[in-house]
Copies of this chain bind each other. A is one copy, B any other.
Amino acid sequence: MEIQELFEEVIGLLEKCDYQSLRSLLDEKEPYDLALLCEELSDKTLPIVFRLMSRDTAAECFSNMESDVQEALLKRLSDSELKAMLDELYIDDTVDLIEEMPANVATRILANSSAESREYINQILNYPKDSAGSIMTVEYVRLDKNMSVADAFTRIRRVGTEKETIYTCYVTDSDRTLVGVVTAMDLMLSDTDTLISEIMETNVISVTTDEDKESAVLKFSNYDFLALPVVDKGNRLVGIVTVDDAIDVALEEATEDVEKMAAITPSDKPYLKVGVFETWRARIPWLMILMLSATFTTAIISSFESQLSANAILVAFIPMLMGTAGNAGGQTSVTIIRALSLEDITTGDILRILWKEFRVSVLCGVSLGVVCLFKSVYIDGTNWETAFVVSITLAIAVLVAKAVGCCFPLLIKKIGFDPAVVASPFITTVVDALALLLYFAVANAMIL
């Protein structure tokens, strides 16, 4: 709603050609809100409003825009305007931009970047997707251990405005080896002639460029950092990850995990920005695979067709058995997958996990079985014999489902794949088939 008001005010000032007031109105606003404003503007008014923003606000606003708005705007900017904006953009935001733009726009961005930036950009683009290196920035404050606190302040005042954070400064050797960290708080609370080497923290926690970005996020959560240094294999400082990017990664990765667990190819765009075909493409592969894999359940039922005709009531419980087993397996697999991504457990804990899940599933299986027995007789109105078959199958199926839901993700993780991808729906298919086989085996043994 607030954005709508801002939009109307802006349009009003544009109509009156009151650029002076418009400029000061824009000056007051946060870059994120300006980005939302820009999404509402037409292709014609967008560049006019954008040009009225101050240079650093414009750059920050730009990096907050959705990629379709960025692309529309870039088309209208001259090379010199683009160059000026790229100077203001942080390297990590430029990298994000290049990754999202079509090839010709990306080439134009690279061509208008400074030679130094271009080198950094190419370096960051080369780090594996989802690595700490791919989300880092190179704009940090570097100090020398022989500097005094006063020297450090002078340097921060000189270079600070171009850096993504000045609150954590990094102390490196002549070969860029990371030797210490000093916070702005340490500096402010020390005498001006103290040497950096006296106040720096030498026991530095860092990530390597190829470490998973999720484990960088966990370090932020565990150690309460504002920035985390990224080093190469030789402990040389190559960049930093800042806490604002860590929050974004935490939210994005959670969305991705949720989407994967629901059998959707993850997307990093907001729901309403994704086209119908794109949504279809993200959803249809898994639906198709799961539909085709149901060939097993069809085949199992077909092969027991004569027994089922002889005892037709058994059919009525198939959905309940498969549904409950699927839910039981899903609970376990989702818990295990989330615990793996929070590093609460590792694949090495498999025996402890199995033992715990075994006891939980016995409890669940027995309680469900007992309730199901009486429900079948008194609510569904079946005979005791069938009720026993159904309940015993249910209890064992829950046990099996929880075992599958627990082992599958750990196994997938162990062989180096992403457990979220194989979660609930795929496990459900396996569990469905096992539950059916079990059902017919129990039925055969007891009544058929």
CB-defined contacts of A318 to chain B, threshold 8 Å: 301, 315, 318-319
Contact status A327-B286, CB under 8 Å: yes
Contact status B356-A291, CB under 8 Å: no
CB-defined contacts of A291 to chain B, threshold 8 Å: 320, 323-324, 368, 371-372, 375, 394
Contact status A299-B380, CB under 8 Å: yes
Q: Quick check: which of A79-87, A98-106, A231-239, A276-284 contacts chain B, the rest being far away?
A: A276-284
Contact status B243-A250, CB under 8 Å: no
Q: Quick check: which of A15-23, A68-76, A109-117, A154-162 contacts chain B, the rest being far away?
A: A154-162
A370 to B230, alpha carbons, bound, how many Å?
A: 51
Stoichiometry, copies per complex: 2
Does A345 make an interface contact (CB < 8 A)?
Answer: yes
Contact status A334-B262, CB under 8 Å: yes
Other-chain residue from B160, B254, B258, B336 in contact with A185 (beta carbon distance below 8 A): B160
Q: Quick check: which of A43-51, A127-135, A143-151, A359-367 contacts chain B, the rest being far away?
A: A359-367
Tell me if A's interface is mostly helix, strand, loop or mixed.
Answer: helix
Contact status A330-B262, CB under 8 Å: yes
Q: A295-B379, A299-B380 are in contact. List 10 more A-B contacts (CB 8 A).
A: A156-B188, A254-B257, A261-B261, A262-B335, A262-B424, A263-B330, A270-B345, A284-B367, A298-B319, A330-B425
20 A–B contacts from the bound complex (CB under 8 Å): A28-B203, A167-B167, A167-B226, A184-B184, A220-B244, A221-B244, A221-B248, A224-B244, A255-B338, A258-B338, A259-B335, A264-B335, A272-B352, A280-B367, A286-B327, A287-B324, A287-B331, A291-B372, A292-B371, A295-B320
- Nearest 9 pairs of A and B residues by beta carbon: A254-B254, A294-B320, A262-B334, A224-B244, A271-B339, A297-B319, A270-B344, A301-B316, A280-B363
Residues of A within 8 A of B (CB): 28-30, 32, 64, 153, 156-157, 160-161, 166-167, 184-185, 188-189, 203, 205, 217, 220-226, 243-244, 246-248, 250-251, 254-255, 257-259, 261-264, 270-272, 276-277, 279-280, 283-284, 286-288, 290-292, 294-295, 297-299, 301-302, 305, 308-309, 312-313, 315-320, 322-324, 327-328, 330-331, 334-336, 338-339, 342, 344-345, 349, 352-353, 356, 359-360, 363-364, 367-368, 371-372, 375, 379-380, 394, 398, 424-425, 428-429, 432, 436
